[in-house]
Amino acid sequence: MAMTGVHLGEKLALTGSRYSTGDCLLTHDDKLEGRAFAFVLYLNTDWAVEDGGDLCLYNCDQTTKFPEKIIKKIRPIENSFSLFRVQNNSWHSVSEVLSEGKERLSLNGWFHYPEDVEVLFVGDSPVSEEPIPRSKPSMDTTLSEVTSWLNNNYVSPGQHKNIKRIFAHKSQLSLRHFLNTDKYNSALQELETASFTCIGPPNKKNVWRLVESQLEENSHLKSLLRVFRSEAITLLLTQWTGLHLHEIRKGGAINEGNNGEGDEVTTTTSDNGPPSKKSKINSKEEINRDVELVSFINRFDQGCYSMADDQLIAHSEDNGFSLDVIIFFGRKQNWPSQNGGFISYFSSGEEDEIIRVIPTLNTAAIVFREPGVLNFTKYVNHRAGSDHFFTLNCTFFGVCTGESESEESSLNSKSIHEDSEDEDEEEFGSEDFDENEEEEEEEGKDEGGGDGNCGGL
C-alpha cells in the first residue's frame, strides 16, 4: 500500500455493521488473523454529537500496555473514512448509540499481511493482569454475627434440606429477601455515601470498587464483608448446597444454642432426632482447609461492564470448581434487563448462554461452576439513567463435591434444565426462594449488536 509503506497481501475482509439504540462495541485492539489495517466507511446520514456512536481511540499505560483513557473521538459522519494500523496499542471502542430511531451504519473491515509473512505487531504486548489476591476464610466471626445479618428463613435448619435439593437439581439458587431487612437498609444507606474508585482496564472491565480502607471501624459494610469472609458463612453454604466448603457430619445442623454465642455446629443422627454431639466451629477437623475466597463490593451505573477474555478463561480452567455468591443492593426492586447490568454465565468455546442473573434487590444468587465456566456483566446502557445498583461478590475456590447431594451438578452447558421443580418450591414453603425466572430471561434476551470484541467499527 503506497500511502503507508506497508506490504499487504491479497486478503481483504469486509463486513457491514448496524448499531441501534443501546448498541456499543467495547474496548479491543483488533489483533486477529494477520490483520494489518482496520478501516471503516460511514454510511449513516444526519448524525449529531448527541446521537453517540463515536469511534473512540485510547492511549496506553506505559507499564502494562493496557488501554488507559480515551484520547480521541471520531464522529461517524456520512461518507467519511477512517483507517488505522492494527498493533499492540491499537485500542479502540464504539460508544453507545443514544438516539431512539437512529441507526449507525458502516462498511468496515481489515487489510491483511501476506500469508507467508510472520506478523510482528508494533510495540510491546500487554502484560498479564494480576488476579485479585485470595484469602482463607477468617476465624474471627461468630456464627451469631453471621446469622444476625440473614433472613431467619435461611438460618432455620428445617429449610436446609429443601434448599439443598433444589440446588442439587439446578446448580444455582436465587434467595430473595436474603439479608435481615434492617441490616440490608443500613448497608444500602452506607453504600450510597461510601467512597468508590473506578477499576479497569477498559479492555476488561469498567466498574466502581468500594474503597474499604475508608470505612469507619463500626461500619455496617465492614461487618458485612467480615461475615462473608468467615468460616461461619462456609458452614451455611455447606448446609444450603451440600458442597464441602466446611466439613460437617451427615445430618449436621446449625444450633444457635441457649447461650446466644451461636458458634457451634450441632450434628444429629436424623433430621428430627435429638442432638448427638456439639463441636466448635473452629475445630480443625471440621474445616475444608483448601477453600480460599475473593470478595469485594462493586457499584454499577451507566457505562459499567465486565468482560471475559482469554486470560480469564485460562484462570477459570486452573481454578477448579468454584462457588459464586452475589448479593444485590439497590432502590429498584426489579432492575429492567433491557438496561444491561445482568450477569451472563457461559462455557468456554460455547456460544449459548447457560444462565442469566438479573439484579434483584436483597437477593443472593449462588452459582456452582466447573472449570471453563465464567461470567461477564452486560454493559449498563443509557436507559438506566441515574439508576444504579451494588453487588457484594464472593467467589469460593477449592470447593469439593465429595459425596454431597450436589455431586456432578456444577454449572456447565448441559446442567441447567428449563423445567422447574414445582414440588420442591411448594415444599420449601417460602416466597423468599426463587428458581430460574424464565419469563424474565426471555424478556431480557440480548437484542444484538454491540458489545463483542471482534465486531465491526
DSSP string across 137-198? PBSSS-HHHHHHHB-HHHH-HHHHHHHHHHHHHHSEEEETT-B-HHHHHHHHHHHHHS-EEE
Lowest-confidence region among 115-129, 194-208, 217-231: 115-129
* Cα(340)–Cα(383) distance, integer angstroms: 9
From 327, 289, 364, select the one nearest 139 (Cα to Cα): 289
Residue 315 has a pLDDT of 66
Which three cell numbers mark 291? 477453600
Q: What is the pLDDT of residues 66-114, one digit of tens each?
A: 999 999 999 999 999 999 999 888 999 999 999 999 999 999 999 999 9
Which three cell numbers mark 306? 465486565
- CB 312, CB 395: distance < 8 Å: no
CA separation, residue 408 to residues 166, 242, 314, 400 (Å): 14, 12, 22, 11
* Cα(126)–Cα(251) distance, integer angstroms: 51
Domain boundaries 12-112, corresponding CATH code = 2.60.120.620
Which three cell numbers mark 57? 481511540
Domain positions in the chain are 12-112, 143-443
Q: Which residues contact 328 (CB under 8 A, 6 or more apart)?
A: 335, 359, 360, 361, 362, 363, 365, 389, 390, 391
Residue 310 has a pLDDT of 59
What is the average per-residue pLDDT within 323-336? 93
Which three cell numbers mark 394? 464472593
Which three cell numbers mark 128? 498479564
Provide the strand spans (E) within 217-341. Answer: 252-255, 264-268, 275-280, 292-300, 305-306, 322-330
Task: For the domain made up of 143-443, give the CATH fold.
Answer: Jelly Rolls (2.60.120)
Instruction: Please report, for the chain, how many H helices and E strands are present, in that order.
Output: 9, 23
Q: What is the pLDDT of residues 379-414, one digit of tens each?
A: 999 999 999 999 999 999 988 775 444 444 555 544
Model confidence band, residue 442 (pLDDT cutoffs 50, 70, 90): very low
pLDDT value at 270 more than 80: no
Same fold, 12-112 and 143-443: yes
Residue 92 has a pLDDT of 96
Residue 256 has a pLDDT of 44
- CB 27, CB 95: distance < 8 Å: no
Residue 288 has a pLDDT of 57
* Cα(311)–Cα(333) distance, integer angstroms: 35
pTM: 0.81
* Cα(146)–Cα(180) distance, integer angstroms: 11
* Cα(333)–Cα(389) distance, integer angstroms: 10
Please indicate whether residue 112 or residue 436 has the higher confidence score (pLDDT).
112
Residue 455 has a pLDDT of 53
Residue 378 has a pLDDT of 98
* Cα(439)–Cα(456) distance, integer angstroms: 31
Q: How far apart are the first and last CA of the chain?
A: 21
Q: Mean pLDDT across the chain, nearest whole number?
A: 80
